[in-house]
A = this chain, B = another copy of it.
Amino acid sequence: MVRELKYGMVGGDLKALIGECHRKALGLDPRAKLVCGCFSAVDELNDECAEAYHVDKARVYYDAEKMAEAEAGKIDFVSICTPNFVHYSVAKTFLEHGINVVCEKPLTLKVEEAEELSRLAKEKNLVFAVDYCYSGYVMCKVMKQMIARGDIGEIISVNADYMEGCFLELLSEKEQVNSRIWRTDPKYSGISNTCADDGTHVEHLVHYVTGLKIKRLLATADTFGKKLDLNDNIILEYENGAHGAYWFSQVACGSPNEINLRIYGTKGSLEWHQTRPDEVRFARAGEAAQLLCRAGDGIDVPAGSLARVPFGHPEGYYIAIANIYRNVIDTILKLKNGETPTEEDLDFPDVETGVSGVKFYYAVMESAQNNSKWVDVE
């Protein structure tokens, strides 16, 4: 029986933020081992990575395609942590070589590209996960199960936002030294910056937690004279008839990557904030609001048991990602061992989630560029 997986990484050099997060999250799982990578396009940096990550230099590549060729059959999955515009080509290559993929979000710069990856993954029967990391928080899973069980009745209103201030300096006269500046360039980010980068997290998270499907939406998108959106307001209509509002901003001074989620139903409500991911405010009609705390008393859905550390000790961001990887690894291991993954194993954002994200930001941009008209979301 296979008990350990080997993985490679594309992207994620020593200065890269998100690659490090993936390696740490995987470091929390003794069942996965980093064995190869194409960490950087710069030779020297690539070598430094190999040393730092304790990877054999013979398995460090300067071209993702060569890596896919050489490692086909030798690794169980690849983690793609490159800038967004490279996701598509790299993911496609690995799929074509029969390698399972975990890819950063947003999945691709074009809807067709995302759909092609989806088609390819199905055709090849490969696992394809997208790192919408926030749905890995235990309390998001708890909310999902509570809602599915009917704890708050039918959902009648949703309000969600993702706010950070990383691009505020673009609006001032300061010289633009922001390391994330490529995100505001259509060459690297396609038609959307903030909505694609942050907004798709919210789109996924609301869907994950509530099960609601978006029917149509309308939007404004503010560029403040730059090329891509930096601040978006969206009103949505879900298939059940309820409305919601999302706000995404990367010019929100002082906002600490807040994701605020407020969900109202006919019988109760749930409120969650990513800055304090271990807490949920749960109000039931006619009762005092409850403070549900990860690993604390009063949580009676199965996801409550996923907590790793005791009541009051924050689990944090790495563990959210690690929770996603745990399920991906469970799934791949079972498949390798001829077993059928359970629904619980498959509880990770898949390629369809990635496709939805791309469609979502396309719909937002279409509305924003057409006087905020309603745009149907498939």
Binding site for B on A (CB under 8 A): 3-4, 17, 20-21, 23-24, 27-31, 34, 51-54, 152, 156-157, 159, 161, 164-165, 168-169, 171-172, 218, 220, 222, 224, 231, 233, 235, 237, 242-245, 247, 249, 251-258, 262, 264-269, 274-278, 281-293, 296-299, 308-319, 371-372, 374
In the complex, the answer to whether B30 meets A30 with C-beta atoms within 8 Å is no
Assuming the A-B contacts A231-B156, A268-B254, are A245 and B243 also in contact, with contact meaning beta carbons closer than 8 angstroms in the complex?
no
Which residues does chain B contribute within 8 Å of A291, judged by CB atoms? 281, 288-291
Which residues does chain B contribute within 8 Å of A268, judged by CB atoms? 253-254
CA distance A233 to B194 in the complex (A): 21
In the complex, the answer to whether A222 meets B285 with C-beta atoms within 8 Å is no
Assuming the A-B contacts A54-B30, A253-B284, A267-B253, are A314 and B312 also in contact, with contact meaning beta carbons closer than 8 angstroms in the complex?
no
Assuming the A-B contacts A274-B313, A282-B288, are A264 and B252 also in contact, with contact meaning beta carbons closer than 8 angstroms in the complex?
yes
Which residues does chain B contribute within 8 Å of A317, judged by CB atoms? 309, 313-316
The listed residue (B245, B249, B296, B299) touching A157 by CB distance below 8 A is B249
Which residues does chain B contribute within 8 Å of A281, judged by CB atoms? 254, 291
In the complex, the answer to whether A218 meets B277 with C-beta atoms within 8 Å is no
Using A254-B283, A285-B297 as known contacts, list a sample of 8 further A-B pairs with CB atoms less than 8 Å apart, ordered by residue number in A: A3-B54, A24-B28, A252-B262, A254-B284, A275-B278, A278-B314, A289-B290, A372-B374
Each complex incorporates copies of this chain amounting to 4
Give the 4 A-B CB pairs with smallest separation, nearest first: A254-B283, A316-B316, A288-B298, A256-B312
The listed residue (B27, B161, B266) touching A168 by CB distance below 8 A is B266
Which residues does chain B contribute within 8 Å of A372, judged by CB atoms? 218, 235, 372, 374
In the complex, the answer to whether B267 meets A311 with C-beta atoms within 8 Å is no
In the complex, the answer to whether B318 meets A28 with C-beta atoms within 8 Å is yes
Which residues does chain B contribute within 8 Å of A257, judged by CB atoms? 310-313
The listed residue (B30, B297, B374) touching A287 by CB distance below 8 A is B297
Which residues does chain B contribute within 8 Å of A164, judged by CB atoms? 311-312
CA distance A258 to B269 in the complex (A): 14
Which residues does chain B contribute within 8 Å of A169, judged by CB atoms? 285
In the complex, the answer to whether A288 meets B290 with C-beta atoms within 8 Å is yes
Can you identify 20 A-B contacts, CB atoms within 8 angstroms?
A30-B52, A157-B252, A159-B161, A165-B269, A172-B285, A218-B372, A245-B245, A251-B264, A252-B269, A253-B265, A253-B267, A253-B268, A255-B283, A256-B312, A276-B314, A281-B291, A286-B297, A288-B297, A288-B298, A316-B319
CA distance A15 to B233 in the complex (A): 42
Which residues does chain B contribute within 8 Å of A296, judged by CB atoms? 256, 288-289
CA distance A167 to B23 in the complex (A): 38
Which residues does chain B contribute within 8 Å of A275, judged by CB atoms? 278, 312, 314
CA distance A245 to B232 in the complex (A): 10
CA distance A292 to B266 in the complex (A): 21
CA distance A309 to B18 in the complex (A): 9
In the complex, the answer to whether A253 meets B285 with C-beta atoms within 8 Å is yes
Which residues does chain B contribute within 8 Å of A371, judged by CB atoms? 374
Chain B residue with the shortest CB-CB distance to A244 = B233
- Which of A274, A284, A308 has the most chain B CB atoms closer than 10 A to its own CB? A308
Which residues does chain B contribute within 8 Å of A262, judged by CB atoms? 252
CA distance A242 to B257 in the complex (A): 21
The listed residue (B235, B269, B277, B299) touching A288 by CB distance below 8 A is B299
Chain B residue with the shortest CB-CB distance to A219 = B235
Which residues does chain B contribute within 8 Å of A287, judged by CB atoms? 290, 297-298
A202–chain B nearest beta-carbon distance, Å: 13
CA distance A340 to B177 in the complex (A): 36
